[in-house]
Amino acid sequence: MLTSQDIEFFVSLAQSKSLAATARKLNVTPPSVSQRLQALEQKLNVTLVKRGSRATSLTVEGEILLQKGLAVLQQIVLLEDNIIEEKQAISGKLRIVAPIGYGAERVAPLVAEFKQMYPLTQVELMLSDTPSWSHRDPPDILIYIGQLKDSSLTRIVLSKNQRLLLASPSYLQHQAAINCPTDLINHKCIALQENNDDVTLWKFTHKKTGALKSIRIAAALTCNLGSVVKEWAINGHGIIQRSQWNVVNELKNNKLQVILPEYALPTADIVALVSSNRNSRPAKVNCFIDFLKAHLAEKS
Mean pLDDT over 196-222 rounds to: 92
Last residue of a domain, one of 48, 82, 116: 82
Mark whether 96 and 187 lie in a shared domain.
Answer: no
| Burial class of 2 by CB neighbour count within 10 A (0 to 12, 13 to 18, 19+) | middle
Same domain, 216 and 100: no
Checking if the pLDDT of 179 tops 70, the result is yes
- Looking up residue 288, the CATH number of its domain turns out to be 3.40.190.10
pLDDT tens for each residue of 232-261 = 999 999 999 999 999 999 999 999 999 999
Q: What percent of the chain has pLDDT over 70?
A: 94
- Cα separations (Å) of 10 from 47, 70, 242? 12, 10, 43
Domain region containing 15: 4-82
Residue 203 confidence (pLDDT) above 90: yes
- Regarding whether 291 and 153 lie in a shared domain, the answer is yes
Instruction: Compute the mean pLDDT over every residue in the chain, rounded to the nearest whole number.
Output: 89
190, 127: one domain: no
> Of 82, 110, 131, which closes a domain?
82
**Residue 182's pLDDT is what?**
95
253 in the same domain as 121: no
> 0.85 cut: is pTM over it?
no
pLDDT of residue 290: 95
194 and 244 assigned to the same domain? yes
- Both 37 and 89 in one domain: the answer is no
Question: In DSSP terms, which residues pair with 99 in a beta bridge?
Answer: 128
Amino acid 116: pLDDT: 95
- Give residue 83's pLDDT band: very low, low, confident or very high (50, 70, 90): low
Average pLDDT over residues 187-209: 90
Same domain, yes or no: 140 and 279: yes
Which of 78-113 are b and which e, b meaning 16 or more Cβ less than 10 Å from the residue's Cβ?
Answer: beebeeeeeeebbbbebbbbbbbbbbeebbeebbee
CA distance 27 to 22: 8
- Name the 3-class secondary structure at 145: strand
Count the domains in the chain. 3
CA triple 54-56-58, angle to 5 deg: 165
How do residues 220-229 score in pLDDT, each as one tens digit? 999 988 899 9
Considering the domain architecture, whether residues 36 and 180 belong to the same structural domain is answered as: no
| Domain containing residue 238: CATH number | 3.40.190.290
Report pLDDT for 115: 95
Q: Give the confidence band of 300 by pLDDT, cuts at 50, 70, 90.
A: low
Both 224 and 252 in one domain: the answer is yes
Span 208-225, mean pLDDT? 93
| Euclidean distance between CA atoms 177 and 183, whole angstroms | 8
Whether residues 260 and 179 fall in one domain: yes
Residue 92, helix vs strand vs coil: strand
The whole-number pLDDT of residue 70 equals 92
What are the phi and psi torsion angles at 207 (to 5°)? Answer: -65, -30
Q: What pLDDT is stored for residue 78 in this prediction?
A: 81
What CATH code is carried by the domain that includes residue 49? 1.10.10.10
pLDDT of residue 90: 84
Would you say residue 86 has pLDDT above 70? no
Non-local CB neighbours of 292 within 8 Å, separated by 6+ positions = 107, 110, 143, 158, 272
The pLDDT tens digits for 87-126 are 556 888 999 999 988 999 999 999 999 999 999 899 999 9
- Does residue 96 share a domain with residue 48? no
